[in-house]
């Protein structure tokens, strides 16, 4: 059967021992490392640049270019920090990668550290996912026992230690500079940039911060060649990535496919919207990206096309909602999340997120007015661009796009004095199955 899928990271997730070192090696793992260690570090960076891998943590910054920013011959320690703090609503690709494929991440870490001349790497894992952290710790121990970590790796003279660090569980600690403060034992709040981490990151030393999926993709690129990677995807969004489908879809899960794949194609693989229902709205890149409807089913899911269509690819967290869903309720839930996770450092986000939640609650309860919609938009536009970090900017997109697409639905709440939807109808379990 022909398929648009390009399973690389996800290729062996159905094997019970894929997460072990033996399973990973049987499936071709650790082929890339000797190849990389035989190259000059700068050649490894050049290979990453040629692949045009763009960071998979949301912003899409080219990974090879980021590695190239690390100053050489500066006499300072260099660090790699892997961002495994995944926790935005709908984001669900890094945790399954860590559970099923931790050795791919470790192999990628060794290659990345060799390239940027770092002898210590940290993986910052969110604290709540203890089972994920334990699996990763086990994988690090296995890799070390086998000589893939530690001193003189594979006789190359290159030394590397990996520290698995558990965060206390704060969404803001996924923001790279807040993460660095947290790792240093400080309260996790964003730092002023510049200086960027490549110049003054962890312990004020040059630091690369990369997403789990970015680093776990590196061995595939080294093993198969930058050209094979760049041959997939679209002109400016190369390669493959994991699309996480959740919500009212028949088969939710992770679908690894070339960037530029459309939602219509992904839904073809995922069995479509749940039986008897139709798509109402969806997020292409998670809760911080403007909503799409069925009019965007054929938009290629690459950075440029999604932006041209008015949204953002983000972390490819595709949340799907059918016609039983109240859009006001969904947006309220998301903004409650941002309000809860706001670190409080800057006023627009700390106060603004609170006001937006108050207004949305009133609107969902049918106690608002049409004027509140304008007030909501006004507050949101005063947060965007005025907040200290991107968490603040994440509040406006869902609010603004939902009002633009579903203004009548907001007003219907006020007309009837409450929510016109039955929340039970949009749940994925019936009362019968819950008994």
Ligand X SMILES: Cc1cc2nc3c(=O)[nH]c(=O)nc-3n(C[C@H](O)[C@H](O)[C@H](O)COP(=O)(O)O)c2cc1C
Among 112, 212, 346, 399, binds ligand SF4 (CB under 6 A): 346
The closest of 217, 221, 215, 176 to 195, measured between CA atoms, is: 176
Quick one: 240 or 388, whose CB is closer to ligand SF4?
A: 388
In the block, tokens 């909503």 appear at: 291
User: Does 335 help bind ligand SF4 (rule: CB under 6 A)?
Assistant: no
Q: For ligand SF4, which stretch binds (CB under 6 A), given 115-123, 130-138, 322-330, 341-349?
A: 341-349
Q: What SS3 class is residue 355?
A: helix
Q: Which is nearer to ligand SF4, 174 or 241 (CB)?
A: 174
User: Residue 350 binds which one of ligand SF4, ligand X, none, with CB within 5 to 8 A depending on kind?
Assistant: ligand SF4
Size of the site for ligand SF4 (CB under 6 A): 14
Residues 6+ apart with CB under 8 A from 273: 248, 249, 250, 267, 279, 320, 322
When asked if residue 387 is in the footprint of ligand SF4 (CB under 6 A), the reply is yes
Q: Which does 343 bind (CB under 5 to 8 A by kind): ligand X, ligand SF4, none?
A: ligand SF4
Which residues here bind ligand X, judged by CB under 6 A?
Answer: 55-59, 61, 83, 85-87, 171-172, 174-176, 209-211, 214, 389-391
Strand partners, 283: 319
Write down the least CB distance from residue 57 to ligand X, Å. 3
How many other β-carbons are positioned within 10 Å of the β-carbon of residue 38?
Answer: 10
- Looking only at the bridges linking them, the beta strands covering 240-247 and 317-322 are parallel
Collapsing DSSP to helix, strand or coil, 150 comes out as strand
Instruction: Give the helix ranges, DSSP H, for 169-311.
Output: 176-183, 197-200, 212-224, 226-230, 263-269, 303-308
Contact assessment for residue 154 and residue 143, using Cβ atoms and an 8 Å cutoff: no
* By CB under 6 A, residue 349 contacts ligand SF4: yes
Q: Does 350 bind ligand SF4 (CB under 6 A)?
A: yes
The interface partner of residue 174, options being ligand SF4, ligand X, none and the CB cut-off 5 to 8 Å by kind, is ligand X
Q: Binding residue for ligand SF4 (CB under 6 A) from 261, 315, 342, 414?
A: 342
Contact flags string 171-210 toward ligand SF4, x per CB under 6 A: -x-----------------x--------------------
Name which of 307, 243, 287, 292 is nearest 391 in CA terms.
287
Of 188 and 284, the one with the shorter C-beta distance to ligand SF4 is 188
Alpha helices in 146-185 (DSSP H): 176-183
Residue 211 or 237 with smaller CB distance to ligand X: 211
CA nearest neighbour of 330 among 263, 421, 204: 421
Is residue 392 a contact residue for ligand SF4 (CB under 6 A)? yes
Minimum CB distance to ligand X, residue 274 (Å): 28
* Minimum distance, C-beta of residue 126 to ligand SF4, in the bound complex (Å): 16
Using CB under 6 A, which of the segments 157-165, 250-258, 337-345, 372-380 binds ligand SF4?
337-345
Contact 274, 250 (CB under 8 A): yes
Pick from 215, 291, 206, 201: nearest CA to 36? 215
Residues contributing to the site for ligand SF4 (CB under 6 A): 172, 190, 342-346, 349-350, 387-389, 391-392
């Amino acid at each position: 059967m022909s398929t648009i899928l390009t399973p690389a990271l996800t290729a062996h997730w159905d094997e019970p021992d894929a997460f072990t070192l033996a399973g990973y090696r049987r499936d071709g793992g650790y082929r890339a490392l000797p190849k990389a260690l035989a190259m000059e570090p700068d050649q490894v960076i050049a290979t990453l640049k040629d692949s045009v891998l763009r960071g998979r943590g949301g912003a899409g910054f080219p990974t090879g270019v980021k590695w190239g920013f690390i100053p050489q011959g500066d006499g300072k320690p260099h660090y790699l920090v892997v961002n495994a703090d995944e926790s935005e609503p709908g984001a669900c690709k890094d945790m399954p990668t860590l559970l099923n494929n931790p050795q791919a991440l470790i192999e990628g870490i060794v290659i990345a550290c060799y390239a940027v001349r770092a002898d210590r790497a940290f993986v910052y894992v969110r604290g709540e996912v203890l089972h994920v952290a334990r699996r990763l710790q086990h994988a690090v121990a296995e890799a070390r026992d086998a000589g893939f970590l530690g001193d003189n790796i594979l006789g190359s003279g290159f030394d590397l230690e990996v520290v698995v660090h558990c965060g206390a569980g704060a969404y803001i600690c996924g923001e790279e500079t807040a993460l660095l403060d947290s790792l240093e034992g400080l309260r996790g709040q964003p730092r002023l940039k510049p200086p960027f981490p490549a110049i003054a990151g962890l312990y004020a030393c040059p630091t690369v911060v990369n997403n789990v999926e970015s680093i776990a993709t590196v061995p595939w690129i080294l093993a198969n060649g930058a050209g094979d990677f760049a041959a997939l995807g679209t002109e400016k969004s190369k390669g493959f990535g994991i699309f996480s489908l959740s919500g009212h879809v028949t088969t939710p899960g992770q679908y690894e496919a070339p960037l530029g794949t459309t939602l219509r194609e992904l839904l073809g693989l995922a069995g479509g919207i749940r039986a008897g229902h139709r798509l109402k709205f969806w997020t292409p890149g998670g809760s911080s990206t403007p909503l799409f409807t069925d009019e965007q089913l054929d938009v290629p899911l690459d950075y440029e096309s999604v932006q041209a269509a008015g949204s953002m690819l983000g972390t490819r967290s595709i949340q799907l909602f059918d016609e039983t869903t109240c859009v006001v309720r969904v947006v309220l839930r998301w903004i409650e999340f941002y309000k809860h996770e706001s670190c409080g450092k800057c006023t627009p986000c700390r106060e603004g997120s609170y006001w937006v939640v108050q207004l949305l609650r009133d609107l969902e309860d049918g106690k608002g007015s049409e004027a509140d919609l304008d007030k909501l938009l006004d507050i949101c536009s005063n947060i965007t661009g005025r907040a200290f970090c991107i968490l603040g900017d994440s509040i406006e997109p869902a609010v603004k796009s939902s009002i633009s697409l579903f203004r009548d639905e907001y007003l219907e709440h006020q007309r009837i004095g409450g929510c016109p939807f039955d929340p039970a109808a949009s749940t994925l379990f019936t009362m019968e199955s819950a008994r």
